[in-house]
Amino acid sequence: MQLTDIRPRLLLGPGPSPVSPSILEALARPTLGHLDPQFLELMDDVADGLRLAFGTDNTMTFPVSGTGSAAMEASLVNVIEPGDTVIVASNGVFGGRLAEMSRRMGAEVVLVEAEWGRILDPDAVIDALRAHPGARALAIVLAETSTGVQQPLAEIGAAVAATDTLLVVDAVTAIGGTPVAVDGNHIDVCYAGTQKCLGVPPGLAPITFSEKAMDRIRSRTVPCASWYLDVSLLAGYLGSERKYHHTAPINMVYALHQGLSELRAEGLEARFERHARAGDRLKAGLVDRGFTLFAQEGHRLPQLTSALLPEGVDEGPLRRRLLDEYGIEVGGGLGAAKGKLWRIGLMGHGACDENVDRLLAAVDDLFGSAVA
């Protein structure tokens, strides 16, 4: 296959999201060296843009060279030492991934679980924190892309802030679509991804560390188990020293720079409203067509709608026809929800009425022909 044969798709799945032409153009700018003063200036702008997107003043804020999962690993591996207790609050795939990674790093994982599609009860999470006062970290997902649930963090954040435990939050699907409020929620380590509501291709993963987290990292008794993701080494490149650690993915940084400039130009509040509007329109349209919304009412993500298909519909072939005949990608269910639900993303550049209407029109066509 030739690259020129690629047919564009409308990406309305759980990520990646549609990338605007201006961001694609940014990728094609001339590649610079990672120590070029021009590039270092761009990196500083990117850090500023990420602080805005995260809602933080943290100095240690940068894009990890890798996707969201690399930043998830970076968040955990920098704060965990073998034998540490880590509380993981899980109600979906990504909570499960946090637990799996923590175990591989030698942590004793205390799991607090909730049924998929429901939020974690803040009181249950806070009870676990009280029961394990020596826990190194408490990890939780803000926007669970596997179920479409938005987790309330305020009470949990306030409770963790009063302890020595660090709050680690997955904001991969939240950033740029719904508020993260790293400082407001007392989050110590927060990570994200570029390919969801920031509307940038996959390949970089924003991350930020509070002073409380950095103090903990400076007082480690054994070095971080990952050399590549070690923030104390990365600080040598990001700080005034500008020392080589690894080669930054230069052109991806251009794309993120452009994505963050567009976010700044639109304004965070306007962007959140755009996602909220599109999400509401989609949810209403799906319910009208016999779908059942899966996530707990009052805690539904605007940017990721999970909906059970009408009774008796075989979703796999329909989803394939949506892709082949209409050029629209949506996601299927994961785990227990496999074969039963669709996960529809309206993220970043993709969050608009026009895309909702295009999808709903295609669903009408498909369901009409499936029934006929």
Ligand X SMILES: *Cc1c(COP(=O)(O)O)cnc(C)c1O
Q: Which of residues 208-247 bind ligand X (CB under 6 A)?
A: none
- Closest CB 258 distance from ligand X, rounded Å: 19
Window of 4-12, 66-74, 306-314, 336-344 that interacts with ligand X by CB under 6 A: 66-74
- Give kind and range of the element (H or E) at residue 14: none
- Closest CB 243 distance from ligand X, rounded Å: 27
| Residue 16 preceded by cis peptide, ω within 30 | yes
For residue 361, give the nearest of 306, 277, 282 by alpha carbon: 282
Site for ligand X contains 170 (CB under 6 A): yes
User: Which residue bears the tokens 């755009």?
Assistant: 274
Site for ligand X contains 69 (CB under 6 A): yes
Site for ligand X contains 202 (CB under 6 A): yes
Q: Which is nearer to ligand X, 13 or 55 (CB)?
A: 13
Site mask, ligand X, residues 139-168, x = CB under 6 A? Answer: --x-x-x-----------------------
# of chain residues touching ligand X (CB under 6 A): 14
Q: Which is nearer to ligand X, 69 or 232 (CB)?
A: 69
User: Degrees (nearest 5) of the Cα angle 335, 339, 343?
Assistant: 75
Rg (CA), the chain: 21
Which of 91, 173, 208, 305 is the binder for ligand X (CB under 6 A)? 173
Site for ligand X contains 15 (CB under 6 A): yes
What is the rounded CA–CA span in Å between residue 357 and residue 365?
12
Window of 61-69, 125-133, 231-239, 277-285 that interacts with ligand X by CB under 6 A: 61-69
What is the rounded CA–CA span in Å between residue 95 and residue 113?
9
- Closest CB 125 distance from ligand X, rounded Å: 17
Q: Which is nearer to ligand X, 341 or 366 (CB)?
A: 341
- Closest CB 355 distance from ligand X, rounded Å: 19
Site for ligand X contains 193 (CB under 6 A): yes
Buried b (16+ CB within 10 A) or exposed e, 185-211: bbbbbbbbbbbbbbbbbbbbbbbbbbe
Q: Which residue is nearest to ligand X (CB)?
A: 68
What is the rounded CA–CA span in Å between residue 193 and residue 115?
25
For residue 53, give the nearest of 206, 188, 158 by alpha carbon: 206
Which of 13, 18, 55, 68 is the binder for ligand X (CB under 6 A)? 68
Q: Name, in order, each residue with C-beta under 8 angstroms of 351's C-beta and a sequence gap of 6 or more.
A: 177, 197, 274, 275, 278, 279, 302, 303
Residues that bind ligand X (CB under 6 A): 15, 67-69, 72, 94, 141, 143, 145, 170, 172-173, 193, 202
